[in-house]
Chains A and B, each alone.
Chain A
Amino acid sequence: MTVYFSQQLQANSLPMIRLDEMVKKVLSLKKRHRIAVAWAQDANTVGAINKAVTDGLAEAIMVGSSAEIVKTCKNSGIDPGLFRIVDSENEITASAEAVRLVRSDEADILMKGLVGTDKFLKAVMDKNNGLMLPGAVLSYVCALDIPSYHKLLFITDPAVIPFPSLEQKIAMARYAIEMAGRFGIDQPRLALIGASEKMSPHFESSFEYATMCKMALRGEFNNCIMDGPLDVFLACDKKSIEIKGVKTPVDGDADILLFPSLESSNPFYKGLMLFAGAELAGLIRGTVKPVVVMSRSESEKSKYYCIALACLMS
């Protein structure tokens, strides 16, 4: 087949296939990214930030009740002197202040502390003082490091958009493609996930997927190889393709899975973390600067990966 349109290929080195490689890459940048943390007074957050700071990855501005922050640090055996502390009254003011620090370029990365995700994102999405790119869709992409898969698997959106519209799915795909690019994957294979590979009026997503595939063929997703609907087997397992005889350019070698809903993507990654020993690095997308939101139940490792990812994407 002749490829008529020219693509600007990034001159990247080999793609990273494990999250540890990503950490190495970020460390090799020898740049301390400045992270503003909103309501940074729980042991979880402080612990994760401390590791990033001591590793030379970041420097931190902790926004919150300074008394609480100092207390939490001491309880965790961490020197509060490692951080710049900005006193703030409550989680809402702390979120606004942390966002302000990023907006005013005093920080490179925003991170959520003990504040509720809703309140935190409200500050991020504030029309006048927030961090959104104009007109952008707020979404979430995460890179999964699954020991039994031969490379990283990016998934979207397991955290923010419950039932993405076509427009939102398009944005999600673009975010994931962009992120994969930062990992050195120049021509990512993106599978649009459904319960089956067939087009069916019972699944609206299958119709949206057809639209997106055509957009991809017409070059609207850059260099991405996109196909869907595909089930997870067809997306990630060559054997299943042979058995089913489905012709798909993703070829059982997906880099990215785009899910039709949060209810499908969220259990997918949690299942992998719980039962398959997967780790993740995830990030909010659609903002002018990286925004880190992680759940308290994530492993120490994954928390660290999230911060490293924010540095990579910064």
Chain B
Amino acid sequence: MVLRSMSDLKGIVAGKPRKKLVLAAAQDQQSLGAVLRAWNDNIIEPVLIGDNDRIQTICAENGYNISGLRIIHEPDTDKAVEMAIKMLSAKQADVLMKGKVGTSMLLKSVLNKEWGLRTGNLLSHIALFEVETYHKLIAVTDVAMNIAPTLKEKIAILNNSVSFLCKLGYVMPKVAVLGAVEMVNENMEATLDAALLSKMNQRDQIKNCIIDGPLAFDNAISLESARQKGIRSEVAGDTDLLLMPDIEVGNVLYKSLVFFAKAKVASIILGALVPIVLTSRSDSEQAKYDSILLSAAAS
């Protein structure tokens, strides 16, 4: 199965019991807006933890109806985050979402050794794009968390991403390891790593997916371009997941898809006990909404 649009995610969510999402430090207008919309659409059941007075004010100012919603009053941000995470580690909820709290603080708490959400896996970011010019959704990792992943980290990122895609219903997703060129070049480490990852996949050391790389961006997403270059590949032109060489490439690709190609995007953090919705302020409310949808589909 492959996903063709964000609305396909709704189909996945509809077939499952409604997931509980905890919004940590919920006094944040944008996050609240997206969470409440998702709640109205029956995608998730939110729990708001944060400063109740400010939550009420924001909702009143924006005309959000929150009657019947569970709100836990905790004005101290650190404590609100801790409470949210403990709720998740006690399996009383399914998804964590960042409200008005710094990313580094939230992640530090996620990784807390006593009550955090550690699994032993590396945390990594995955973004799912709906682009008009591509025939299906395309996942991209890692555009936001791991700066310059080593080979070992790339393996961890791939494992996170592949098991996430499998949870969404993919079978043997096609993974392109991105390079500037499709040829192996000793002077470009990304291309060497790509060759290694392909071979490890061939030897079943990275499972449940088909990896090819290096592939240049055009060969990865365009069959025509791969043909012109004479590339024999099961992945080229039909990529489900793009593995970025580093955060710079990933971030620029992410933003150019959103700004130039008007792509719809949903993104979450993988590798913790539960999916984490960690959108930035610059993300649109739609992106936040879609991220919540994605987290519900993946949990």
Question: Do the beta carbons of A2 and B232 come within 8 Å of each other?
Answer: yes
Name A183-202 residues within 8 Å CB distance of B: 197-199
20 pairs, CB–CB < 8 Å, chain A vs chain B: A1-B232, A3-B232, A4-B227, A4-B230, A5-B232, A199-B203, A207-B192, A207-B196, A210-B196, A211-B184, A211-B186, A211-B195, A213-B195, A214-B184, A214-B194, A214-B199, A215-B183, A217-B232, A218-B183, A219-B230
B74 at the interface (CB under 8 A from A): no
Q: List residues of B (179-238) whose CB comes within 8 Å of A's CBs.
A: 182-184, 186, 192, 194-196, 198-200, 202-203, 205, 213-214, 226-227, 230-233
Minimal beta-carbon separation of A231 from chain B (angstroms): 12
Q: Does A118 contact B (CB under 8 A)?
A: no
Closest 6 CB pairs of A and B: A5-B230, A210-B199, A214-B195, A4-B230, A211-B195, A210-B196
Whether A4 pairs with B195 at a CB distance below 8 angstroms is no
B152 to chain A: closest residue by CB: A201
**B232 engages A4 (CB within 8 Å):** yes
Other A-B pairs, 8, CB within 8 Å; known A199-B196, A211-B195, A246-B203: A4-B230, A198-B205, A213-B198, A213-B199, A214-B194, A214-B195, A214-B214, A218-B182
B195 near A198 (CB under 8 angstroms)? no
A210–B198 touching, CB < 8 Å: yes
Q: Which residue of B lies closest to A249 (CB)?
A: B202
Within 8 A of A (CB), among B71-130: none
| Contact A210:B195 (CB < 8 A) given known A198-B203, A215-B184 | yes
Q: Do A209 and B199 touch (CB < 8 A)?
A: yes
A5 to B230: give the CA distance in the assembly, Å: 5
- Nearest chain A CB to B153's CB is how many angstroms away? 13
- List of B residues within 8 angstroms of A206 by Cβ: 199
CB nearest to A245 among chain B residues: B204
In the assembled complex, the Cα of A50 lies from the Cα of B196 at a distance in Å of: 51
Give min CB distance, A31 to chain B, whole Å.
38
| B198 partner residues in chain A, CB cutoff 8 A | 210, 213-214
Any B CB within 8 A of the CB of A24: no
User: How distant is the Cα of A2 from the Cα of B231 in the complex, in angstroms?
Assistant: 10
**B214 surroundings in chain A (CB, below 8 A):** 214
| A219 surroundings in chain B (CB, below 8 A) | 230
Q: What does DSSP make chain B's interface, helix, strand, loop or mixed?
A: mixed
| Residues in B neighbouring A197, C-beta threshold 8 A | 203
CA distance A219 to B182 in the complex (A): 11
Inter-chain contacts of B233 with A (CB < 8 A): 217
Binary interface encoding of chain A residues 1-25 relative to chain B, with 1 for a CB under 8 A from any of its CBs, else 0: 1111100000000000000000000
Q: Find the A residue at minimum CB distance from B202.
A: A247
Shortest CB distance A41–B (Å): 45
Residues of chain A lying within 8 A (CB to CB) of residue B186: 166-167, 211
CB neighbours (8 Å) of B230 from chain A are 4-5, 219
With CB as the reference atom, state the residue of chain B lying closest to A196.
B203
B180 to chain A, nearest CB (A): 14
Choice from B182, B199, B213, B227 contacting A199 with Cβ under 8 Å:
B199
Assess the B196–A211 pair: CB atoms within 8 A: yes
CB closest chain-B residue, reference A4: B230
Assembly CA distance A5 to B232 (angstroms):
8
A220: interface (CB < 8 Å): yes
Bound-complex Cα distance A1 to B192 (A):
25
- Residues from chain A with a CB closer than 8 A to the CB of B192 are 207, 211
Q: Give B277 Cβ to nearest chain A Cβ, in Å.
A: 35
Shortest B134–chain A CB gap in Å is 21
Q: Which of B224-256 contact A (CB under 8 A)?
A: 226-227, 230-233
Measured CB to CB, the nearest residue on chain B to A2 is: B232
Q: In the complex, what residues of B have CB within 8 A of residue A209's CB? A: 199
Complex Cα gap A4–B226 (Å): 9
Tell me the complex Cα distance, A199–B182, Å: 21
Question: CA of A214 to CA of B231 in the docked complex: distance in angstroms?
Answer: 11
Nearest A-chain residue to B229, judged by Cβ:
A4
Closest chain-B Cβ to A200's Cβ sits at a distance in Å of 9
CA distance A2 to B230 in the complex (A): 10
Residue numbers in A under 8 Å from B203 (CB-CB): 197-199, 246
Cα-based distance from A4 to B233 in the complex (angstroms): 10
Which of A198, A210, A213, A218 has a CB less than 8 Å from the CB of B231?
A: A218
Name A200's closest neighbour in chain B (CB-CB): B205
B200 nearest CB neighbor, chain A only: A199
Expressed in whole angstroms, the Cα–Cα distance for A197 and B202 within the complex equals 10
Q: How far is the CA of A209 from the CA of B192 in the complex (A)?
A: 10
How many angstroms between the C-alpha atoms of A199 and B227 in the bound complex?
30
Chain B positions 8 through 39: 1 when the CB is less than 8 Å from some CB of chain A, otherwise 0: 00000000000000000000000000000000
| CB atoms of A4 and B231 under 8 A apart | yes
Complex Cα distance, B194 from A63, in Å, reads 52
A70 to B98, CA, bound (A): 93
CA distance A220 to B195 in the complex (A): 14
* Cβ–Cβ < 8 Å partners of A211 in chain B: 184, 186, 192, 195-196
A214 to B193, CA, bound (A): 11
Q: Once bound together, how far apart are the Cα atoms of A9 and B224, in whole Å? A: 25
